[in-house]
Amino acid sequence: MTSTETDLVAQQLDAGIAAWAALAEQVSAPQMRERVGAAGQTVLEALRAGGTLLVAGNGGSAAIASHVAAEFLGKCIQDRHPLPAISLAESHSSLTAIGNDYGFDQVFLRGVQAFGRPGDVLIAMSTSGTSPNVVAALAEARLRGLATILMTGTKGAGQGDLADHLLVVPSSETPRIQEVHMLWAHAWCEAVDLAMQEQS
């Protein structure tokens, strides 16, 4: 690696750390914590009542969706019984078949139609808050009686009518937005682990 490349890595690392320092203060503000806590309580109560967690997102958010579903199906920090969680972005075959036959804007909507039931929860992630397939899935989830959570960035701040819980990362940088989404999801899963362990 050349010295210029090393400088670039250090520069981006420093920029990321600086952005996180600012974000840490913003996401720990009482109003933000209250909103994130309310959404997490929705997840906990739904799973405690036997509901299913559906998770959706595109690109990097699809990877987070798979990660989140796996944490609930397996465990995050504590052993407990497996919990029903499905990443709607998981199956390449389903995504490409639905995208080819019905259009990419329906790839998550049809997953909600197939798996979503009243009392379930849809966690949707879109850094812009306007991804057509995410918006369509949220609308379908509401029609079916699911609780809805939309995690987004500053571009999606005006999308409060799309979900029961709108959680906005105060950033326009996709990597930072997705990192905070993962932080929130981990906090919820850790809380569920502890609550469900106490129940068993």
- pLDDT tens track for 30-76: 999 999 999 999 999 999 999 999 999 999 999 999 999 999 999 88
pLDDT, position 98: 96
Q: What is the mean pLDDT of the chain?
A: 94
The domains of the chain are located at 29-199
The pLDDT tens digits of the residues spanning 154-189 come to 999 999 999 999 999 999 999 999 999 999 999 999
pLDDT, position 5: 73
pLDDT, position 61: 97
Residue 60 has, within 13 A of its CA and on its CB side, a CA count of: 14
Mean pLDDT throughout 13-30? 92
Residue 2's pLDDT band (cuts 50, 70, 90): confident
**How far is residue 75's CA from residue 69's CA, in Å, rounded to a whole number?**
10
Mean pLDDT throughout 82-92? 94
Question: Would the pLDDT of 200 be above 60?
Answer: no
pLDDT, position 199: 62
The CATH number of the structural domain formed by 29-199 is 3.40.50.10490
pLDDT, position 142: 97
Question: Would the pLDDT of 111 be above 70?
Answer: yes
User: How far is C-alpha 54 from the geometric centre of its chain's CA atoms?
Assistant: 9
Question: Would the pLDDT of 124 be above 80?
Answer: yes
Mean pLDDT throughout 10-37? 93
pLDDT, position 108: 98
Mean pLDDT throughout 121-145? 97
